[in-house]
Structure 1
Amino acid sequence: MVDVQTTNQITGNRKWWALATVMVTMFFASMNQTIVSTAIPTIVGDLQGFTLYAWIFSAYMMTTAITVPIYGKLSDVYGRKPFYIFGLIVFGVGSVICGQVNTMQELILARGLQGIGAGALISMPRATIGDIFNPRERGRWMGMVGAVFGLSSIAGPVIGGWITETFSWHWIFYISLPFVLIALIGVMLFLPKVKASKEVKVDWIGSALLIIGLIPILMGFTLAGSEYGWTSPFIIAMFVIGVIVLMLFIKYERNISDPIITPVLFKNRIFSTSLILGILLSMAMFGSVMFLPLFIQGVIGLNPTDSGLVMSSMMISFIVGSVISGQIMTRTGKYRLLSHISAAAIVLSTSLFMTMDINTGYPTVIKYLIILGLGVGCMMPLLNIAVQNAFPYRIMGTVNATQQFVSSLGGVIAAPIFGSILNWGFDTRLSYVLSEKTRKLIGSISELDPQTLLTDHAQQAIAERFIQLGPAGEVMYIELLQAVKVSLTAGISYLFTLGLVFAVLCFIGTFFLPERTLQGDEYYSDSTE
């Protein structure tokens, strides 16, 4: 039976087993995402849901973002262990349901359930690293954690592509289940059971206000541009209701002793600047990670397995960037100059992505992904360590969770915006490049979208319908495929243009990031102000 402690700090031999548990958790959680990302084009083609493409990401990120601060706050009081266990179980159940869905709507709901579990799996590992190592040591180990993330991200696309082609995309959701079981065993054996040192009131009212306020805003961003116009009364009402409730949440949090999100955190310049940089970073890279598989498979023409191999080049460079940045921060205790260099690499890669066109080959995409991976790999652990170093150990879970929460909001907001831009860019260019004769012939087929390129089954189905249109059908079909490639390229080009704006803002923001020398073991004295 695990001893009851009054602190989350892990010492002795147990810390290495706890570290291994964190590594396993991060491995399967990140692998799950990369497997899904590679298979998404096939899923979209199979379930006929291109217009709901962004929802697969949004549903997951919405529930993740909402639960992260709650997990973080409670874990500071009751320990990481119970929330690891809860998150792992919910994530596993959600994975099973995802593998059994038959419609896009069912998949979206199941992904939302997965996200509730993922909220714990995202917030707990970083806090657990802080339970084991001081900020100065943490640079090296955060780099190793980044390497594990990178390795899983390399394995994910390859495994996901192979499973999708060999069996069915339904099976990609089951691959995480053995890792869930291993992680559960590690958590139960090696993480301490924490006894609160004082009676703490859980801020359930604040939690409820946060959820009630966020849901309409996130739903508004998700539905705008696809189901409703951005200026429609429904979308405006969603935003207004959400803002009003969040204002009540902020007012309430300022007047209680133990809030779910501590307002005083935002007065710290390192914290507030890192939050802004995290949002800009997630929005800058979102288009690359989310939509590049669509370009690689839909325009270049690679299958899911080869697409995964191309995407893995970013993860290899991510590993290199994480390890290098971790070593530099551990040896120097500094991070500001490194933030400038990392952000500059992200700006460069995003600029290069903008130059891609219908003739771009996969070797070019790989080169651009390597540069992006180096920049992101250096930047992400840097922001985490800078924030952890700025606050006392006793509130580390809250600090980590709040940072992750705000960063997740960036991805949630970016998903529907990028999805709307892709749809608009695709539709606009398609109507322009197709000949009038072809437009008339395809008018009776149905609304066309890039899913006509994503699977052999979809292409065969539309080809058969063109043949029925007469002798010119085959020529028209070839013209259509070329037009769809051109239009998809145009839509994705717009995404990278927007991504470049966020990348440049992120680079500028690094010059406002205060630097504070990373602490050693004195960090655990809790004397930091």
Structure 2
Amino acid sequence: MTPQVQQAAPQPASEGYAADRREIRAVILGLMIVLGLGAIDQSIVATALPRIVSDLGGVTHLSWVVSAYVLASTSTMPLYGKLSDQYGRKPMIYAAILIFLLGSVLSGMAQTLLQLIIFRAIQGIGAGGLLPLAQIIIGDLVPPARRGRNQGSIAAVFAVCSVVGPILGGVITDLLSWHWIFYVNLPIGAVALVMIGRALKRRHQVRSRRIDYLGAVLLTACTTSFLLALALGGNEWAWDSPQILGLSAAALVLGIIFVFHIKREPEPVLPPDLFSNRLFIIACLVLALTFMGMLGATLFFPLFFQMVMGVTPSHSGFLTGPLMIGFVISSMLNGRVLLQRSGRYKPAQLCGLGLATAAFATLAWAIATSKGFAIIEPPIFALGLGLGLVMPTMTVAVQNALPLAHRGVGTATLAFFRSLGGLIGVTGSGAILAYRVQKAIGSSDGLGMSSLTEGGLKQLAAASPEAHAAAIAVYRHAIAMTFATGTVIVGLALIALLFLPELPLKTHHGEGAQPR
């Protein structure tokens, strides 16, 4: 059965390679709009959360407005890849955009916090297809040797949106209302649909294939159980509570059943062949560890600048800007110059992770030893430079190594592991910060540290000089610990990267050899 699939698989690709440069540019422009739609949504919503809670109430469950979206989008990523391999890229990206827009309309109409959380989950189901499908379509149209420029553009879109999003969210919320941060997605999504519909001409030959409904249900249930345990553990319930242990056990059992299922299923939703590909396995591990360290540590940049360094929120955003500037510069340089001219991706990735590891270590030392902005800002910029050399080209490496029949699900699964690593990093760093703060409170109860650390910036500003200095020291050392942990995690990613096979980048869309 397998040889038949491999012989038939290249046919759809060959139909799409007749695309001329004008078509490719139009499609990629439409995909950039799609990516911007998903990337900017999270930062806009985060800015509007205080206004949302003032209107809808339910502050104790406010984090679920973000968590429901992230859980839904992460869980559905592999499914979009597999379905696009079976039914084509165009129908699936249409479905992803329309589901995202439906969730946006419903979220804007929400009258209670529970409704908003449910509708954000619907929005997340659509968002789960935006990034992987955009990368898959670019992979179909552009050969690996010329794909770095486009992957760099994707990274630039995410970086720009992370800066523009909070500003746009604040303006829309102040001038109109928080409901419009969701409605604004409609005209942007409509433009993206029209552009992709007109420009994307390639056809996909639909085959009568068995649909692995059971595998899709098992994969989604296993992933959701695991992500819920991460999101709720240490927050809603203790890590050793029956609820978290039950979710963890469910994820483990469902995962085992899923593994047995895909080994026996003729057309599994996640092909086991993917995990016999050495490059694919190492790429997933490297990206998961990189995002785990990056998001786990950089999440606390605003807290550090505002709580420890005493700057305003707007100034705090300005101080984190060098991270994104460095990321955009190195992403564009890597894709447009280094990858395209040399045809090699691993040397730049090794340099990037080495630079990121050194930047993390420098930041951990600078924060722990109370250094000023002149010492802290350069490694923030260097961190962005390093990460920009790693992330965009890893997708190119994976697409170059996988056969066409598995390109869609492989690209989506890579994005899934990247998001999963980020979620683990955020959860783990939050637990580290909470542990360090609680431990410091236990040894400083005479200064009223508990009320200070829970009270936020206003109460901290009104505290006595001695208590103020003690609270700042608590946060300083706790945040330094998260960066020290990030150093170790990114260092592990660097070690894993040493074992990544490097294949010559193909200048055409043929299947080519793949490492096993």
In structure 2, what is the equivalent of residue 145 of structure 1? 154
In structure 1, what is the equivalent of residue 84 of structure 2? 75
Whole-Å separation in 1 of the counterparts to 2:109 and 2:469: 35
Moved more, 35-44 or 79-88: 35-44
Cα shift at 1:369: 2.3
In structure 1, what is the equivalent of residue 319 of structure 2? 310
Change in Cα spacing, 1:128 to 1:237, as seen in structure 2 (3 Å) is same
**Deviations for 1:450-476, whole angstroms, at most 9, x for unmatched residues?**
5622xxxxx3xx69xxxxxxxxxx964
In structure 2, what is the equivalent of residue 248 of structure 1? 257
Q: How does 1:153-232 map to 2 (within 5 A)?
A: 153-160=162-169, 162-163=171-172, 172-192=181-201, 194-232=203-241
Change in Cα spacing, 1:501 to 1:44, as seen in structure 2 (3 Å) is farther
- What is the identity, as a one-letter code, of the residue corresponding to 1:526? E
Query: What RMSD in Å do the two structures reach over aligned CA positions?
Result: 3.2
Contact 1:322 1:377 in 2 (8 A): yes
Secondary structure of the 1:91 match is helix
Moved more, 50-59 or 240-249: 50-59
Secondary structure of the 2:239 match is coil
Cα shift at 1:133: 0.4
- What is the identity, as a one-letter code, of the residue corresponding to 2:34? T
Secondary structure of the 2:456 match is helix
Q: How does 1:42-61 map to 2 (within 5 A)?
A: 55=64, 57-61=66-70
Contact 2:282 2:500 in 1 (8 A): yes
In structure 2, what is the equivalent of residue 497 of structure 1? 484
Q: In the alignment, does 2:16 pair up with 1:9?
A: yes
Normalized against structure 1, the TM-score is what? 0.84
Cα shift at 1:204: 0.8
Cα shift at 1:415: 2.7
In structure 1, what is the equivalent of residue 353 of structure 2? 343
Structure 1 unaligned spans of 5+: 454-458, 464-473
**Deviations for 1:31-50, whole angstroms, at most 9, x for unmatched residues?**
23344456668878999989
Moved more, 6-15 or 121-130: 6-15
Whole-Å separation in 2 of the counterparts to 1:451 and 1:282: 30
- What is the identity, as a one-letter code, of the residue corresponding to 2:16? Q
In structure 1, what is the equivalent of residue 456 of structure 2? 452
**Deviations for 1:93-149, whole angstroms, at most 9, x for unmatched residues?**
434555566877665544433321111112111001112100001122222332333
Contact 1:60 1:111 in 2 (8 A): yes
Contact 1:334 1:517 in 2 (8 A): yes
Change in Cα spacing, 1:124 to 1:185, as seen in structure 2 (3 Å) is same
- What is the identity, as a one-letter code, of the residue corresponding to 1:319? V
Figure out how many residues of one structure are paired with residues of the other and give that number: 499
Moved more, 146-155 or 12-21: 146-155
Whole-Å separation in 2 of the counterparts to 1:300 and 1:435: 24
Secondary structure of the 1:240 match is helix
- What is the identity, as a one-letter code, of the residue corresponding to 1:513? L
**Deviations for 1:264-302, whole angstroms, at most 9, x for unmatched residues?**
111111111101101101101012443322323333344
Identity across aligned pairs (percent)? 32
Contact 1:81 1:191 in 2 (8 A): yes
Whole-Å separation in 2 of the counterparts to 1:497 and 1:475: 31
Contact 2:334 2:389 in 1 (8 A): yes
In structure 2, what is the equivalent of residue 395 of structure 1? 406
* Match 1:368 to one of 365, 369, 379: 379
Change in Cα spacing, 1:183 to 1:399, as seen in structure 2 (3 Å) is same
Normalized against structure 2, the TM-score is what? 0.86
* Match 1:414 to one of 421, 425, 430: 425
Whole-Å separation in 1 of the counterparts to 2:357 and 2:203: 44
Q: How does 1:222-301 map to 2 (within 5 A)?
A: 222-301=231-310
Cα shift at 1:225: 1.5
Cα shift at 1:210: 0.9
Change in Cα spacing, 1:108 to 1:494, as seen in structure 2 (3 Å) is farther
Whole-Å separation in 1 of the counterparts to 2:183 and 2:163: 18
In structure 2, what is the equivalent of residue 381 of structure 1? 392
Cα shift at 1:399: 1.2
Secondary structure of the 2:128 match is helix
Moved more, 218-227 or 115-124: 218-227
- What is the identity, as a one-letter code, of the residue corresponding to 2:500? L
Contact 2:325 2:381 in 1 (8 A): yes
Contact 2:296 2:428 in 1 (8 A): no
In structure 1, what is the equivalent of residue 144 of structure 2? 135
Q: How does 1:345-360 map to 2 (within 5 A)?
A: 345-354=355-364, 355-356=366-367
- What is the identity, as a one-letter code, of the residue corresponding to 1:525? G
Moved more, 506-515 or 405-414: 405-414
Whole-Å separation in 1 of the counterparts to 2:371 and 2:111: 35
Cα shift at 1:25: 1.4
